[in-house]
Amino acid sequence: MKLTAEQHETLDREGFLFLSDLFSAEETAVLRAALPAIFARTGPEIVRELSGAVRTAFGVHTYSDIYWRLSRHPRLVEPAMQVLGGPVYIHQFKVNAKAAFDGDVWQWHQDYGTWSRDDLMPEPHAMNLAVYLDPVNEFNGPLMFIPRSHRRGRIEAGHDLETTSYPLWTIDNETIETLVAEGGIVAPKGEPGAALLFHCNLVHGSAPNMSPWGRRAVYFSANRVDNAIRRFQRPEYIAHRDFTPVEPLGDDCLLVGTEHTAGAAAQ
């Protein structure tokens, strides 16, 4: 699947593109069905909130067959190759849970801020493609963007090791105030199957989830193969070292096919 010229132009200009129904209800039902077994894992790849609720399941495509297939889905891989201008590999692949009542804040940040400082990713030739697995509304901690903030390039950031269970390079309030005065804030709402494509320098974050509705979403972080990371400081399940170009599967790959990963039986 290719983005239209207009979609591509919107993504370049605003730093993000919202697609309200990239995946069907049938496809997202299959993806959701695999989550209880994934969240029940006890390894370090399952990062928990300070409360103990699951915050993020990292590297899901390495132990779940259905997420392995999603990581090769043409509706994600082809737009990523188109936007980044070449073959891509999976830098990070995770499910964020944003649990009902317990889902904690994601402070304002740029992903390239972390990828460049921690992983020595040379250039911002990477992007995110997120797919909603639950409905996202104004109450359950939707992902918030500052439109056009990616045009600033990489912004000064501090390493926040304390606010949540997950270290992040975060941007100070004064800078956020200036960026928001220029670009505002958007938080696209949508149903399962909606997708958000965004530039790795787009400033984003999300508030804690006080609502009784969890909002799980899967994030595919694609990096251009010639832009592979240079430092292997973070765990492999957070910053992958396999730079093999991703080959897209068939468009129906979530609904037909066989198991691909060793851990798939655990589903």
**Site residues, ligand SIN (CB under 6 A):** 96, 98, 106, 143, 204, 206, 217, 219
Query: Shortest distance, CB of residue 55 to Mn ion, whole angstroms?
Result: 13
In degrees rounded to 5, what are phi and psi of residue 9? -65, -40
Extract the tokens encoding 253. Answer: 């790959």
Q: Can you give the binding site for Mn ion, defined by CB under 5 A?
A: 111
Q: What does 104 interact with, of ligand SIN, Mn ion, none (CB < 5 to 8 A by kind)?
A: none
Q: What does 96 interact with, of ligand SIN, Mn ion, none (CB < 5 to 8 A by kind)?
A: ligand SIN
**Calpha distance 22→31 (Å, rounded):** 14
Query: Shortest distance, CB of residue 246 to ligand SIN, whole angstroms?
Result: 20
> With respect to ligand SIN, which residue has the nearer C-beta, 70 or 253?
70
Q: Which residue is closest to Mn ion by CB?
A: 111
Cβ-contact 112, 124 below 8 angstroms: yes
Q: What does 201 interact with, of Mn ion, ligand SIN, none (CB < 5 to 8 A by kind)?
A: none
Q: What does 60 interact with, of ligand SIN, Mn ion, none (CB < 5 to 8 A by kind)?
A: none
Instruction: Write out the E strands in 24-125.
Output: 46-48, 54-58, 88-96, 106-109
Question: Per DSSP, what are the bridge partners of residue 93?
Answer: 220
- Comparing C-alpha atoms, which of 105, 97, 95 is closest to residue 160? 105
Query: Shortest distance, CB of residue 247 to ligand SIN, whole angstroms?
Result: 25
Extract the tokens encoding 205. Answer: 């974050």
